[in-house]
Structure 1
Amino acid sequence: MLKVDYWNRDEIIMNINIRLKRYSLLIWLLFVCCITFYIKFESKRNEEKLIEGHFWIFTDSHVDVHYRQDGDPSTGCHNVPLNNMTKIIRKFGHFNCDTPNELVISALSAAKKIDSNIDFIIWLGDAASHYSPDGDTVISIYLNFSQELRKYFPKTLVIPVLGNHDVVLKTNRSTRFIEFYNQTKYNLLLKDDNALQTFLKGGYYSIRFQALKTKQQTMLRFIALNTAMFLPQYTDYFDLNEANEQIEWFNKTMFDAQNLNDRILLLAHVPFGINENLLYKFYDIKYEQKLLSIINKYSSNIIMCLSGHRHQDVFRVYTSLNTTMGVIGHPPISPIGYLSQPSIRKYSYDRKSLILTDYEQYSLNVIEAERTQKDQWTLAYRFSSWYHQSKELTSENLFQLIYLIRTNSFYFKRFILAKHYTEKIILTKHRIAQTLCALTLLNFDELLLCTRILEKKGIQYDNIVFNNSLENNFHMNEQLIEYRIIYRRVALSLFIFLIIIIWIIYRISLKFFL
């Protein structure tokens, strides 16, 4: 028979202890380093959570009270076609129609599910339909919107801005905004007594907000303009002095903000500059020049200008001498015109410095919603990862991004896709040149000269075709990034867990085998 030699128990224990003692210092140092790193990591995350604030922006819902879910899109979804054999139901809207109320409810419900723990909400205006509804209809739509917004966000600070379709034009001018405030229950949204004084006069106001409850905290100031007064097509509906009085108030408010060292979010339903798609200026030039001259004086206090109205995902930067002010546009809740899928946007900002850091845009695929009869809002993109930017969304950084868009095909294609991805158009080289020039130029002479220069330089831009395909949504890019972040956190947690297990085994072995 073969004899097998076995180590006795004492020899095994001795061997284990020798090996453990040899590496005990290394294991201990590794354990301490991992725990220290983990504590610092968690502490930094908790501090960032305390400093990082969030807010929602909604704009341009354009509710149509005559919308029919079985309506013919060629009639604005108003009339039922006689040959509608398929009985198609468009519960959440169509690109040829203004918005059903169900879509507004869907957007607010989605926002609450995504994040209800926010600091404030900015509503950038235009609740009523494009179809020139009468004053009573405008009031009814806005009343319903005020109530729905408060239903989903009952205690959140709301900063409402009047859009051009919110102003009841044919009414007593001296009491126009008083009647609007009372009849729409605007007090559900605007509750600040100081802001109320100027709103009742002209539909504009200013509110100061303390993001952090500390004594030395810089205050965030919202300045909400009533831009309808500055539009050429609306001048007949306002007294001659109303626009100038608002401009004087704006100048005084900016002066006060500078003296108090407030940081300003400038809110304007209609943006400054030119609609480069249709080639017209938004503002009466005499009013725009006065407003921009005030901005030139106090631009150092302006965080950003936020606007709606255009129904597209666009931004631009106004520059003049020492002035750099970003103007960020926002896509609408309304899908009309194939300009955008219904969208809402959540911003992140630093409560201490009051700098915008990032935003996430959520969208509803209208065609998919029609097919499934379900409203699934998805992350379309995150600004920082879509444009490969640091988490500081400042006017200066936006200006640098515009330089990249003009000179680098990667950034250019991303900007164009974000702006036009739902449209049925062909972007010609000429129109692309106009789009690039409009990113920083606010008047026609400069825009046309810039366009000619780009064309003479022979810069090659391929024609781009957009056809509103079903899958023209770019949220997959964001999902991949989210997965990478999750994988890294899981890997770090498993590594720390493994080190802790090794340390526990080592301590147990010392106790039972010595």
Structure 2
Amino acid sequence: MATRTVLHELTFLLGLLCVAKADTGHFWHVTDHHLDFTFDEDAVSCHDDLTPSQRGRFGNGLCDAPWRLINSSVYAMKEIAPNVDFIIWTGDNILHTTNESRDLSTAINLSTLDNITRLLRDVFPDVTTYPAFGNHDYFPDAQFPSHDNEMYQHMEITWGVWVNDSNFRRTFRKGGYYSSLIRPGLRLISLNTNLYYTRNRLALNFTDMTDPAGQFKWLNDTLAAAVRTKEKVIVIAHISPGLKGYEGFLWMYEPYNDLLNRVISRYTESGVIRAMHFGHDHDDEFKIYYDNKGVPRIPVFIAPSVTPWRYKDSQGELGRPHNPGIRLVSYDRSNGRHLDIKQYYLDLEKANRDRHAQWQLLYKATEIYDIPDVTAGSLSKARKRMLHSSKKHVQDYYERITLMADDSKCDAKCRYSIYCGMRYFDIPGFNKCLQKYPSLAFRPVSSCFKLVVALVVLLQLF
């Protein structure tokens, strides 16, 4: 035990030494703004009929974000860290509504995207922002096509000034995805994973159901080229592969989820992918891709939303409350290695009470997990500690998921679902992990039988 402790301390000190020698840069990650432009009037995103005073100055968990909350978040970013290298923005900017045909349209959605784009550009005029589409950004919601359309055309022009790649127009018009060189030796890949979303009904009738918009082949080719040219890659998208941590279900159609995992897993040992960043969940979570030998290789980060909106199911049951968040990531400019995460949040209840938004630091990842950096190896140690140490480690993680807005208890099924979901990105692997713990295993059901048949050919190729 003493030897293990000494080795742990030496590893930690070595990590600190490496961080100290790194050419450290920083970037912001923001996601899921969900602007309710009707907030001060009809507030169409609200689950219930709330008076203006009940909605709060900066929002309410029953509603999407007012402009003043989004504006406050961007100016807080500027105040906290104005000289970042870049910003990643992983989509979902449109409000939730139960009457989409009445409240939204392609023109309204594009206007919202333009407004938030303009805000980021005005506040950070010399900083490049790398966007990704969210499922709500499209009209109708989530129905992203695998071909050129008005939204792709409009945003290609609007966002094209940020992207450093001669093929941007071709790939973006084809499927809303692209690649861009951040700096020599470091590349960003922005995927449109909304094509694979279980609410995208078009996925059942894509012209090429084996590879919608050619994105899988393009991703494979782009990663292969990065290996050849010795580039490192940061991948961003809105919807993440794998199962949602403590709830254990897939956001993507299962065959597409498996195909994406196959492409990524092919490049785990090469080290070409330094990290992956997503949104969509409105939660703060992390996962890890391991290689076939069980070595942790790629850290996967899911950032919390700016909107405080809570999901409400068909039975009227509300999801967990959560505070708005913005995230600052430090990395080694020379190789893209991720060094640390500072997670900032707004105590929404206090902000509404004080009528003033005070964004504050919730945690620094290396400190709360007692690790030298936020690489896959370090996060894997933190994951193991959650299982083998006291329940408090998982409970603390469970509360941080909501940025301290909810202190409900994480029971045994919750704990092991989190633990298994951090490592296994497919249903069989996730269930096999849960089966180690008696009476806990369950199987999320995939309804996409037509896609299972349609993708058999491509599955064989991969």
TM-score, with normalisation over the residues of structure 2? 0.79
Choose which of 283, 292, 306 in structure 2 pairs with 1:312.
Answer: 283
Are positions 1:53 and 2:34 aligned together? no
What is the SS of the residue equivalent to 2:424?
Answer: coil
Distance 1:188 1:162, change over 3 A: same
Q: Show CA shifts across 1:241-262 (max 9, x none).
A: 2626111111111111110111
Mark the runs of 5 or more structure 2 residues left unpaired by the alignment. 1-15, 311-319, 441-462
8 A Cα contact 2:248 2:417, kept in partner:
no
Q: In structure 2, how many angstroms separate the alpha carbons of the residues matched to 1:246 and 1:334?
A: 29
Instruction: State the percentage of identical aligned residues.
Output: 25
Cα RMSD after superposing both structures: 2.8
Are positions 1:406 and 2:378 aligned together? no
Distance 1:313 1:269, change over 3 A: same
Distance 1:340 1:269, change over 3 A: same
Alpha-carbon offset, residue 97 of structure 1: 0.7
Q: Show CA shifts across 1:368-406 (max 9, x none).
A: 01101001101111111111111x221122122211111
Q: In structure 1, how many angstroms separate the alpha carbons of the residues matched to 2:129 and 2:221?
A: 24
How many pairs are equivalent? 398
Which structure: greater helix fraction?
A: 1
Are positions 1:174 and 2:155 aligned together? no
What is the SS of the residue equivalent to 1:336?
Answer: coil
Matching residue of 1:490: none
8 A Cα contact 2:185 2:335, kept in partner:
no
Q: In structure 1, how many angstroms separate the alpha carbons of the residues matched to 2:55 and 2:399?
A: 29
Q: Which runs of structure 2 are paired with 1:228-267 in the superposition (5 Å)?
A: 228-236=194-202, 239-241=206-208, 243=212, 245-267=214-236
Choose which of 252, 258, 261 in structure 2 pairs with 1:289.
Answer: 258
What is the SS of the residue equivalent to 1:438?
Answer: helix
Q: Which runs of structure 2 are paired with 1:341-356 in the superposition (5 Å)?
A: 341-356=323-338
Q: Which runs of structure 2 are paired with 1:49-448 in the superposition (5 Å)?
A: 51-68=23-40, 75-76=46-47, 79=49, 81=51, 87-88=53-54, 90-131=56-97, 132=100, 133-169=104-140, 173-181=147-155, 185-187=158-160, 189-190=162-163, 192-210=165-183, 219-236=185-202, 239-241=206-208, 243=212, 245-299=214-268, 300-322=271-293, 324-337=297-310, 338-390=320-372, 392-409=373-390, 410-420=392-402, 421-423=404-406, 425-448=408-431
What is the SS of the residue equivalent to 2:39?
Answer: coil
Alpha-carbon offset, residue 99 of structure 1: 0.9
Structure number with greater CO (CA < 8 Å, separation at least 6) is 2
TM-score, with normalisation over the residues of structure 1? 0.71
8 A Cα contact 1:268 1:308, kept in partner:
yes
Alpha-carbon offset, residue 88 of structure 1: 4.8
8 A Cα contact 1:349 1:357, kept in partner:
yes
Distance 1:157 1:433, change over 3 A: same
Alpha-carbon offset, residue 138 of structure 1: 1.1
Q: Show CA shifts across 1:123-155 (max 9, x none).
A: 111111122432222111101011111010011
Alpha-carbon offset, residue 171 of structure 1: 9.0
Distance 1:52 1:396, change over 3 A: same
Letter aligned with residue 389 of structure 2: N
Mark the runs of 5 or more structure 1 residues left unpaired by the alignment. 1-43, 211-217, 458-514
Q: Show CA shifts across 1:307-334 (max 9, x none).
A: 1111111011122405632211101111
